[in-house]
A and B are shown apart, each in its own frame.
Chain A
Amino acid sequence: MPKAMIANTIRRLRFEHGEMTQQELATRVGCTRQTIIVLEKERYVPSLSLAFRIARVFDRPIEDIFDLVEEPERRQVT
């Protein structure tokens, strides 16, 4: 099975939501700022509950924010 990653659009959504800071998002979803940083860099796969909390903050369906991407396609995802 090829390696897969969870790509996300958190950084873009933060800026679309009044340039929300990483710390503000972290506080609202109940994690540390460092976790938001690694999430944005796609170096960490969040738990389902954290993913849902993030989706709730941005008022979007979870699949609009997170997407399963096969490793070779990863660079094409923005």
Chain B
Amino acid sequence: MAAWIIIASLIAVLFIGATARTLARSRPDPDLGKLPATPLERLGWIGLGIAAALGLSLAVLVALGGAEGFFDDSPYRLVFWLLLMTGITAWFAAWYATKRRFGGVVIDERDRAVLARSLSVESMGVLLSLVVWTISLTEAFTEDGAVPLGYVQLVFWSTLIVGAFGRSVGVVLGYRRGIAVDA
């Protein structure tokens, strides 16, 4: 079973690495020069940071506490909940601060177009995550015939984090590459 956790972790690291590489290699549209970040773009970067930090924390906590016992009454679960709540609160605080700072319009039609396109990155991440989990859990627990409840929770939270991470990456990439300009 440990082998499958290692394989799943490696795939997750590969996914994060490939995302970081794509972000680093994506050159901003040269015609736009140094455009000031939109409120949504700032929130995208903040979301990216929070999701990455949460994902990393979850991986570390599971590595320390073990996956099966993680959602029993363990201190690791409490730490994860605290981190999760802190992450969600931090994002909403950033949203509120952005709204106050920029006033007026925070999201307009161009932002909505970027948001709509970012859904494809989120979907890809979520699908990839589910594929990894399904294969790993099937291989690991075929003989037992049942998956421990802790893993179900882990699948849910990790998918949620991957979704938030993918959406944030999609938003950031959307602004860096620009959106369709053909009439």
Contacts and interface: CB of A to CB of B under 8 A. Distances in A.
B110 A38 contact: yes
Contacts of B105: 26-27, 30-32
Given A32-B108, A38-B110, A5 B181 contact: yes
Interface on chain B toward A: helix, strand, loop, or mixed SS?
loop
Interface residues of B, number: 23
Interface in B87-126: 102, 104-111
Interface string A27-46: 10011111101100111111
A43 B109 contact: no
A31 B105 CA distance: 6
Contacts of A46: 109
A9 to B, nearest CB: 16
A68 B105 CA distance: 28
Interface string A43-58: 1111100100000000
Contacts of B106: 32
21 contacts: A4-B183, A5-B182, A5-B183, A26-B104, A27-B104, A30-B108, A31-B108, A32-B105, A32-B108, A32-B110, A35-B109, A37-B32, A37-B35, A37-B36, A38-B32, A38-B35, A38-B110, A38-B178, A43-B29, A43-B32, A45-B183
Interface of B: 29, 31-32, 35-39, 102, 104-111, 178-183
Interface of A: 3-6, 26-27, 30-35, 37-38, 41-47, 50, 68
Given A3-B182, A32-B38, A34-B37, 12 more contacts: A26-B104, A26-B105, A27-B105, A31-B109, A32-B102, A32-B107, A34-B110, A38-B32, A41-B32, A43-B29, A44-B110, A45-B180
